[in-house]
Structure 1
Amino acid sequence: MTAAESKPVYELDAARRVVALTIDDGPDPKHTPIVLALLQQYGIRATFFLIGENAAGHPALVREIADRGHHIANHTWTHPDLRELSEGKVRDELERTSDLLHRATGRAPTWFRAPGGDWGSTSLKVAASLGMRPMAWSVDPRDWARPGTTVITDRVLKDVRPGAIVLNHDGGGDRSQTVAALKVYLPVLIDSGYRFTAPPT
């Protein structure tokens, strides 16, 4: 893996009118199925950054995400601040999650996202040694804070641009505002000529 590949990716090729939709903190038995149905309705492939503990509790949902053609990615086992962990603990967080996702889907994840975007040199080094590239984001509506459906929608539509990587959450709490915002902004982006992509594995 080159030095460039071990640095977080914040956006895709801005020359193309594409957006990458990324969904963090699942799988969640309430919200993930609704998100999957929405993505299917609009023909969108997304990247799901799954927490190992949640994936272990809902293996059928992990398989469904993969079976529907979405990318499965590593978001650690317990969602810690990786900057505060030893190299061994970081490796355990990432390796356990990758092993579980590989067993569940038959594919090893090739992307990793540090919780909170808090990378640190140790997690970047460990992820590279496990064959994963780090993916950040360029559009963060802070939907996890539940600021309201309209606020989430407005923040995405204001900040989105060609090549954007959009951050949303389907796990970690009540994500009904996020689901409602997706129902509003996905068709708006499609109507304005955006296509959705999952970054290459």
Structure 2
Amino acid sequence: MTIEWYKHGERSEVSMLWIINGKKVKNILLIIIAAFVAALILFVQKQETSVFAPIDKSGALSRVETNQKHLALTFDSNWGDQQIKLILETLKAEKVKATFFFSGEWAERHSDIVKEVLKDGHEIETQGMRHEDYTQLSVEETRRDMLLSREAIYKACGVRPELIRPPYGKINKEVLQTMSALHLQPVLWSVNPQDETNPGYEAIVRQVLKDAGKGDIIRLHASDSAKQTYRALPLIIREMKNRGYTFVTIKDLVSDAQTKHRLLD
């Protein structure tokens, strides 16, 4: 593109290349700015959605060292759909958030309940696909089970678990290494009233109230085999609240605290 004019009878041409180049520079600057803004947004989102990072590659989380009167209710669920409904009703009535560890197979069969758990504001994590003892499986079998469970839960509710509770609480170095490679944080517990044995709801309450304190992780069950947990739950919640405690999810419990692990030799 040129501009033509006549001066003293002569025709002159001025190249407009500098204008075109100027436009190119402007477009490049706009692209750079847009890319920077997009990268900044992704960074912020990552900080917000990936608050929880694996605590320690060498151990499983069993409690949290904290000065705050916070503790976590957790529920294992891999069989039936009646008890969990009663437990969800209680948690909603008491305005308490908890962490649920589902097996992948259970989540596939009960995606409606899994979605309800998420809608109520609870944390959803995994307990393996088929709830098998990982210490009796090969490394590849264990890895496959973990991956399948994570995807099954994702398909059920749109959330990929970051925490895993090893089935039956059984774990060894190989299992820990497999979990670490998949960026899954193993979570055990520090308070276990063995409610799945149905010792009586009063016995469940007594055991929890006796053992629970700051930073503890309470293990309960939401499977139909645990028939007394729903009766014990409101008594546990109300008494701990009376003692000044607040129930939070595992990730919230960990977020601002120094963690304490059950380390394996």
After superposition, give the CA deviation of every residue in 1:140-185 in whole Å (9 maximum; x if it has no partner).
Answer: 00111111111111000000011110000011x4322111110211
C-alpha distance 197-6 of structure 1, shift in aligned 2 (>3 A): farther
Please point out which of 171, 185, 190 is paired with 2:241. 190
TM-score, length basis structure 2: 0.72
Cα deviation, residue 3, structure 1: 7.5
C-alpha distance 2-152 of structure 1, shift in aligned 2 (>3 A): closer
Please point out which of 146, 167, 176 is paired with 1:115. 167
Cα deviation, residue 87, structure 1: 0.7
Preserved CA contact (<8 Å) 1:46 1:198: yes
C-alpha distance 174-27 of structure 1, shift in aligned 2 (>3 A): closer
Tell me, in whole angstroms, the C-alpha distance in 1 between the residues paired with 2:218 and 2:206.
13
> 1:9 maps to what in 2?
61
Preserved CA contact (<8 Å) 2:103 2:149: yes
TM-score, length basis structure 1: 0.93
After superposition, give the CA deviation of every residue in 1:62-90 in whole Å (9 maximum; x if it has no partner).
Answer: 11111111111110112111101001110
Tell me, in whole angstroms, the C-alpha distance in 2 between the residues paired with 1:80 and 1:26.
11
Tell me, in whole angstroms, the C-alpha distance in 2 between the residues paired with 1:4 and 1:52.
25
> 1:72 maps to what in 2?
124
Gaps of 5+ in 2: 1-52, 253-265
Identity %, equivalent residues:
28
Higher-Rg structure is: 2
More strand by share: 2
Count of aligned positions? 200
Instruction: Name the structure, 1 or 2, with higher relative contact order (CA <8 Å, separation 6+).
Output: 1
Amino acid at match of 2:191: V
Preserved CA contact (<8 Å) 1:6 1:133: no
List 4+ stretches of structure 1 deviating above 2 A.
25-28, 173-176
Tell me, in whole angstroms, the C-alpha distance in 2 between the residues paired with 1:63 and 1:70.
10
Cα deviation, residue 34, structure 1: 1.1
Cα deviation, residue 14, structure 1: 3.0
Determine if the alignment matches structure 1 residue 87 to structure 2 residue 131.
no
Preserved CA contact (<8 Å) 1:13 1:162: yes
Tell me, in whole angstroms, the C-alpha distance in 1 between the residues paired with 2:54 and 2:187.
15
Tell me, in whole angstroms, the C-alpha distance in 1 between the residues paired with 2:91 and 2:54.
33
Preserved CA contact (<8 Å) 1:53 1:78: yes
Map 1:28-43; keep pairs closer than 5 Å.
Answer: 28-43=80-95
Tell me, in whole angstroms, the C-alpha distance in 1 between the residues paired with 2:54 and 2:235.
39
C-alpha distance 103-188 of structure 1, shift in aligned 2 (>3 A): same
Cα deviation, residue 25, structure 1: 2.2
Secondary structure, counterpart of 1:4 in structure 2: coil
